Amino acid sequence: MNYLSQELGSIGILLIFSIFLSVVIVLFSYLVGSSNPDVEKVSVYECGFDPYEDARNIFNIKFYLVSILFIVFDLEAIYFFPWSSSCSFLSVEGFWSLIEFALELIIGYIYAWKIGALEWE
Phi-psi label, residue 116: left if phi above 0, alpha if psi -120 to 50, beta otherwise? left
Query: How far apart are alpha carbons 29 and 41 in whole angstroms?
Result: 18
> Whole-prediction pTM value?
0.46
| Short-list 69, 79, 77, 78, CA closest to 114 | 69
Segment 56-86, tens digit of pLDDT:
667 677 777 778 888 888 888 788 888 878 8
| Short-list 59, 57, 68, CA closest to 117 | 68
The band of 48, judged by pLDDT with boundaries at 50, 70 and 90, is: low
Residue pair 118/68 in contact (Cβ under 8 Å)? The answer is: no
